Amino acid sequence: MKKYVLLIVLSLAVLTKISAQEDSIKTTTEDLKAKIEELKGQVEGLNESYLETKATVDALKKIKLSGYIQAQFQSAEIDGISSFSGGNFAAGLHNRFIIRRGRLKVAYDNDITNYVLQIDATEKGLGLKDAYVLFKEPWLKSFGLKAGVFDRPFGFEISYSSSSREAPERSRMYQTLFPGERDLGVSFEYSPYVPFEDFLGHFNFKGGFFAGNGINPEVDNQKDFIGRLGFSLPFYEENLAIDGGVSMYVGGVKLAAGKSIFTVNNPTLATADTKTTYADRNYLGLDMQVYYALPLLGNFTLRGEYISGKQPGGSAASSSSPTALQAGDLYLRNFSGYYLNYVQNLGDKNQFILKYDVYDPNTDVAGDQIGAVAAAKLGAGDIKYSTLGIGLVHYWDDNIKFVFYYDSVSNETSSKLAALNSDLRDNVFTFRIQYKF
């Protein structure tokens, strides 16, 4: 009997314990369920928060900020030289520190529409560089319209940013014909939205109408046409690429009332025209870039451009394109110029640069003819220059690069011009450090 009682007591005890354990398990399961629900709510909350943040980040990603600073030290042969290697040296100076560029660019990229504003801040002041809107049609995504201040669509060197360019400066020809590179106007662009292998994918066109004064206010009613038809031929198997284009500038420079357009193509007499309102400003340009890899040496590029045409300058001393309304006579010259630029990779971090450029502002006269006869109205603006540049670029990291470069400048001489009867001592050494982001 005692055994039965003991068995019943033990059974009751076990059952009680099991029941208690079941209660405990039940409680634990419910707790876990509650915890899971709580965590689920938290995850959903985080997901909602993530989606909100993502929407904000996606919107912010359309705003693109970029820029670069170029700080440099330069040393010239003698004090106060005129130079195209970063501008003239001040009187009494043959070396200097300058901030060549202090760019900050803000762009809002909404895929088919773009807003771009770029400023340049240096020790010389603050200046506008780019301010334009770019609109692409949404159907073919091949045609675009650009309006505002932006690079003139001519040749290769204008649109090749100085932050990427290996030689410190553009060639003398470009600095003379297109000071500041940019202009105010509207441009039509065709860049086929097709696979690159398609025939049309190898071509592009940019062309439009511009004020013709660089980044300056409009001064006349005539608009200048500037355009370039470009091609790009890749040969992947050979790792060879040949790019190039044909460019055209058709425009004019307004003549002030009562003034003359002197055609200075004769060593003895310049013909004067007082009836024509605008002096022709017409250029034709050809450019080509070849990219290839040499055995042992590695990849290189050889670039060349040739431009010729008619250029109206503001005096006998200068053939530079006018950037404001001209008050005096205009001097119309037939000009030509070219450059060749060889860039050889030396591993991933270094590049060797060799550049030769020639600019002849007046192809109709030469040497002692310049300055010989006053009636010919020839002067320093008719002197031909050639520049041989040699340098080295070192890429320190993704942002920083160093440039060491020496420009050896030679000029045509004329015994009739006191300041140019011998080769000028105007060679310049440049050491530049650039930070780009």
Partner 1 sequence: MKKIILLLVITAMAFGFTYDNKVITVKGSDTMVILAQRWAEKYMESHPGITIQVTGGGSGIGLAALINGSTDIANASRPMKPSEREKLKQRYNSLGVEVKTAKDGLSVYLNEKNPVKELSIQQVKDIYTGKITNWKDVGGKDAKIIVYGRENSSGTYVYFKDNVLGGQDFTSTMQSMPGTSAVVNAIVKDANSIGFGGAAYAKGIKFAAVKKDASSKAYIPTEENIKSGNYPITRYLYLYLKTRPSDEMKDYIDWILSAEGQSIVTKVGYFPVR
Contact pick of 73, 108, 193, 231 for partner 1 (by CB under 8 A): 193
β-pairing, 350-360 with 330-346? antiparallel
Which residues, including other chains, have CB under 8 Å from residue 37's CB and lie 6 or more apart? Answer: none
β-pairing, 95-109 with 385-395? unpaired
Residue 236 C-beta: closest distance to partner 1, Å: 6
Going along 55-198, which residue ranges are E strands?
63-76, 95-109, 113-122, 125-136, 143-151, 182-190
Residue 351 C-beta: closest distance to partner 1, Å: 8
Q: For the window 386-405, what string marks contact with partner 1 as x by the rule CB under 8 A?
A: ---------x-xx-------
Residue 196 C-beta: closest distance to partner 1, Å: 5
Q: Report the distance separating Cα 212 and Cα 222, nearest Å.
A: 9
Return the residues of window 216-275 that contact partner 1 according to CB under 8 A: 232, 234, 236, 239-241
Give ∠ CA 149-150-151 in degrees, rounded to 5.
145
Residue 418 C-beta: closest distance to partner 1, Å: 44
> Would you say 134 or 255 has its CB closer to partner 1?
134
> Would you say 88 or 301 has its CB closer to partner 1?
301
Longest dimension (CA), the chain: 149
Q: Using the rule CB under 8 A, is 141 a contact of partner 1? A: yes
Count, residues near partner 1 per rule CB under 8 A: 28
Cβ atoms of 426 and 79 within 8 Å: the answer is no
Q: For the window 274-303, what string marks contact with partner 1 as x by the rule CB under 8 A?
A: -----------------x-x----xxxx--
Return the residues of window 40-59 that contact partner 1 according to CB under 8 A: 51, 54
Contact pick of 275, 348, 418, 422 for partner 1 (by CB under 8 A): 348
Q: Using the rule CB under 8 A, is 199 a contact of partner 1? A: no
3-state secondary structure of 378: coil
Q: Using the rule CB under 8 A, is 29 a contact of partner 1? A: no
> Would you say 4 or 196 has its CB closer to partner 1?
196
β-pairing, 385-395 with 400-411? antiparallel
Q: Using the rule CB under 8 A, is 111 a contact of partner 1? A: yes
CB-based burial, 376-391: b 16+ in 10 Å, e otherwise: bbbbbbbbbbbbebeb
Q: Using the rule CB under 8 A, is 164 a contact of partner 1? A: yes
Tokens 């000028």 correspond to 424
Q: Using the rule CB under 8 A, is 352 a contact of partner 1? A: no
Cβ atoms of 313 and 361 within 8 Å: the answer is yes
> Would you say 115 or 291 has its CB closer to partner 1?
291
Q: Report the distance separating Cα 225 and Cα 251, nearest Å.
A: 6
> Would you say 10 or 233 has its CB closer to partner 1?
233
Q: Is 85 exposed, middle or buried (0-12, 13-18, 19+ CB in 10 A)?
A: buried
Contacting residues toward partner 1, per CB under 8 A:
51, 54, 111, 141, 160, 164, 193, 195-196, 201, 232, 234, 236, 239-241, 291, 293, 298-301, 343, 345, 348, 395, 397-398
